[in-house]
Amino acid sequence: MAGVSQTTVSLILNNRTDVTFPESTRQKVLEAARKLNYVPNQFARGLKTKRSRLIGLILPTISNPYYQMLAQYVEEATAHYGYNLLLCNTSRLAEREAFYLNLLSGKFADGVIYALEPFMPEKAKQLFGPERIVVIGDANPELGMPNVSLNSFQAGRLVARHLLELGHERIGFITSPFTGYTSSRRKRMEGVIAAMREAGLEHQLVIKEGEHERENFDGSYEIDIGFSLTEALLRENEVTAVIGVNDMVAFGALSYITRTNMRIPDEISVCGFDNIYLSRSLRPHITTVDHQLNEKVRLAVRMIVANAGDGGDEAAAAEEEPKGPVLVPRDSTGPAPAKRSMRIV
């Protein structure tokens, strides 16, 4: 229609810098494309270039505010690079992970972001090669995959130090179960223990762990765990602060405490991890730790885009040092109450 060849059209529409055309030709082609509502066929393009501009995101479920937040960030980052996000909910089932790995492979996706610990790292590496995969989570060298680190240990330490500085001495840590696949829960606890030990208060820490991982993956499970563990914790112990292993568990704690008519933070402090948006919406606003997830997600996406792609300067950008977790103090934590509550100690 523009009276030129396929080649010319391709070169112009992809506005490549290595060739140059007279403005007149360029306009003719652009005009014709516009008139025809031309949209390049991504199948044909992918067949040649082996690139899809698609990134798969593997996570257990989107019904959990943490993963929802993460997915939101990934979506924003991929869109920024003109990429599209494929959502893959595995419910932590190996079978579902395998299903999605197959679906994504065949050079179909340019890369895969794991937001949980891979069940089948070998299969993933075999299908994509390690350089097309990024794991967002606590570093695990055994996996042999690129990793954007979350440093849960440091996060745990930050929270505990915050409470110690406020004068709390007897502290409860409540958590959903330590399972094989979520080492971050354990690492948060270890960070808390480390801080308590540094303060010489190691034996003042009370740890309560939930019983069974429940099949359902929405946040209600964690809220329930937080509620019942706090009930048990306060029945047996005189703590002045409760640390939930994440914000949802902390909300459960808050629910129970509110119901007992104890005042927060005057009589008891509560805090969590993750800085999900509810932690700054529900009242009281809760003290938590921000992972700077947005920055980290962007880094992960850049790593894949650089590797899949046009390389060069992009690749350099991917080498940045990720930032560490930061404490976000809010209304739910305050100075430890006076001796009254310390009578057992």
3-state helix/strand/coil string of 27-89: HHHHHHHHHCCCCCCHHHHHHHHCCCCEEEEEECCCCCHHHHHHHHHHHHHHHHCCCEEEEEE
How many angstroms separate the CA atoms of 190 and 192, rounded? 5
Query: Could you give phi then psi for residue 265, rounded to 5 degrees?
Result: -100, 10
- 41 contacts DNA (rule: CB under 7 A): yes
Report the run of H or E that residue 314 belongs to, with start and end.
helix 313-317
Is residue 289 helix, strand or coil? strand
- 213 contacts a copy of itself (rule: CB under 8 A): no
Smallest gap from Cβ 10 to DNA, in A, equals 3
| Interaction pattern, residues 101-140, with DNA; x per rule: CB under 7 A | -----x----------------------------------
By a kind-dependent CB cut-off of 5 to 8 A, residue 75 interacts, out of a copy of itself, DNA, none, with a copy of itself
Smallest gap from Cβ 48 to DNA, in A, equals 4
How many angstroms separate the CA atoms of 129 and 131, rounded? 6
What size, in residues, is the chain? 345
- 6 contacts a copy of itself (rule: CB under 8 A): no
Q: Which of 1, 15, 19, 94 binds DNA (CB under 7 A)?
A: 19
DSSP state of 132: G
Report the run of H or E that residue 12 belongs to, with start and end.
helix 6-13
Q: Which of 39, 200, 212, 343 binds a copy of itself (CB under 8 A)?
A: 39
| Interaction pattern, residues 63-102, with DNA; x per rule: CB under 7 A | ----------------------------------------
Is residue 242 helix, strand or coil? strand
Would you give the end-to-end CA distance of the chain in angstroms?
Answer: 87
By a kind-dependent CB cut-off of 5 to 8 A, residue 22 interacts, out of DNA, a copy of itself, none, with DNA
Smallest gap from Cβ 196 to a copy of itself, in A, equals 30
- 257 contacts a copy of itself (rule: CB under 8 A): no
How many angstroms separate the CA atoms of 256 and 173, rounded? 15
Q: Which of 27, 31, 35, 49 binds DNA (CB under 7 A)?
A: 49
How many angstroms separate the CA atoms of 143 and 90, rounded? 19
- 44 contacts a copy of itself (rule: CB under 8 A): yes
Site for a copy of itself in 268-287 (CB under 8 A): 277-278, 280-283
Smallest gap from Cβ 83 to DNA, in A, equals 16
Question: Which positions touch a copy of itself (CB under 8 A)?
Answer: 37, 39-44, 46-47, 52-54, 61-63, 68-69, 71-72, 75-76, 79, 82, 84-89, 96, 99-100, 102-108, 126-127, 218-220, 223-224, 227, 251, 255, 258-259, 277-278, 280-283
